[in-house]
Structure 1
């Protein structure tokens, strides 16, 4: 490595890998043009909780991207992130995400929105929320869709209860 060149270690949750694979080469090019420095990345991708535990335990990441607030809390507890991280201008978020409904080819059951997931014959497959940050976002999206249905608590919680009932598949 030439004098002044930079290596950054990235420890991120696994879903970020595809995006960073596209973004980092552009960043490298722009950084080189602006500073004259070559920047290299050492990358580690794991489940968000696994990555947070690794960093809290001594993995020296310069940059981290984590899926869940609780995982950032592990880094706060370890003294690696400021307690006021959510008070910053972007409130700790660099992106906004959406949950996408995937169907079998041709969408034979005509799924258009979350309410369709409660129709007879529809089975929902989603990751285990105990181990997947993405699954926790799925739960939040379903709950949010329920909130839009009514101001009455009993109605707005009906959608999540029906989707997560025992007739649906969770893996």
Structure 2
């Protein structure tokens, strides 16, 4: 299995984090429209290239569009062509199901609609000069935080929920978790529109710690960036949703099947994504370049929360945290960041 460091990146030429339409490597045959959030752009491209080497994908070309998850979902809802959608959070697919663009039972399958998974990590400057080791360091007076805006970015919702849950996982009350989240938000110095833009801001020198996905941290190190990252012993399992649209050709469904297969999950793992449960037992994961420990790239998280088990599912999460009167919405509005 090839490592990400040896792969050729000539197919993916759009600026990271921007919603730019581009044609993939295949030059003949039918075209598959792939629309997603920014984080899996490189991995999706490599999975697609591998798919074209199968009988189901032979001769297939692709057009890709990537950006902030919520923005991309709304774009598809407003008419942007899409056959396969891959978003950060389930509500961005459910929105399309409500519009009749995706089947209502899109996640009624063996992989529960999740094609990629990761965990929330803390990205710090190389050598960790500020001695940041855990969530509580994010509320220190001398620490500045970078994270994307949950109004447009699915990554931001995972990040801020992980911060909130870290206090529940430590035995705190909901009120204490609310207060901690408010203190974290007070330390945010950059609030970009997408996870990729947040990473760019951090790499440009803003802030002391970046809230990010483990896979995004690994990918940056694979591409030569210089920083460290910490996998806290309390974190949140990131489960990224994907589906085919109702009018998509059969090739889109076959691509989805390939993406969740052991072969597809091995490629995603090369780019820092943790294999989904559906394929984890059969996927062969070797050393992962860029991981904190390449030989043990996905360390077990001692206390790993999930949206369904710890927060009652995404519908409840949106109601409690992200609606107009949601806890996190009110905290952000009170901070003046949005």
Task: Tell me whether the two structures share a fold, i.e. TM-score over 0.5.
Answer: yes
Q: Secondary structure at the match of 2:66?
A: strand
Using CA pairs below 8 Å that are at least 6 residues apart, which structure has the higher relative contact order? 2
**Between 93-102 and 148-157, the greater mean CA deviation after superposition:** 148-157
Q: Give the equivalent residue in structure 1 for 2:165.
A: 144
**Structure 1 Cα separation of the partners of residues 56 and 176 of structure 2:** 56
Q: How many residues align structurally? A: 165
**Structure 1 Cα separation of the partners of residues 132 and 184 of structure 2:** 13
Give runs of aligned pairs for residues 104-115 of structure 1, distance below 5 A.
104-115=125-136
The structure that has the greater radius of gyration is 1
Give 1:96 deviation, angstroms. 1.2
Q: Secondary structure at the match of 1:99?
A: strand
**Structure 2 Cα separation of the partners of residues 51 and 36 of structure 1:** 25
Q: Give the equivalent residue in structure 2 for 1:50.
A: 71
Q: Give the equivalent residue in structure 2 for 1:23.
A: 47
Distance 1:35 1:152, change over 3 A: closer
Q: Give the equivalent residue in structure 2 for 1:101.
A: 122
Distance 1:50 1:154, change over 3 A: closer
Whether the 8 Å CA contact 1:118–1:162 is kept in 2: the answer is yes
Give 1:69 deviation, angstroms. 2.5
Which structure has the highest strand share of the two?
Answer: 2
Q: Secondary structure at the match of 1:108?
A: coil
**Structure 2 Cα separation of the partners of residues 37 and 74 of structure 1:** 32
RMSD: 2.3
Give 1:143 deviation, angstroms. 1.9
Q: Give the equivalent residue in structure 2 for 1:169.
A: 189
Give 1:130 deviation, angstroms. 1.4
**Structure 1 Cα separation of the partners of residues 58 and 134 of structure 2:** 48
Q: Secondary structure at the match of 1:135?
A: helix
Q: Give the equivalent residue in structure 1 for 2:84.
A: 63
Q: Secondary structure at the match of 1:87?
A: coil
Give 1:134 deviation, angstroms. 1.2
* TM-score normalised by the chain length of structure 2: 0.44
Q: Give the equivalent residue in structure 1 for 2:138.
A: 117
**Structure 2 Cα separation of the partners of residues 18 and 141 of structure 1:** 25
Whether the 8 Å CA contact 2:139–2:187 is kept in 1: the answer is no
Structure 2 portions without partners, runs of 5+? 1-26, 192-338
Q: Secondary structure at the match of 1:102?
A: strand
Question: Which of residues 75, 81, 84 in structure 1 aligns to 2:105?
Answer: 84
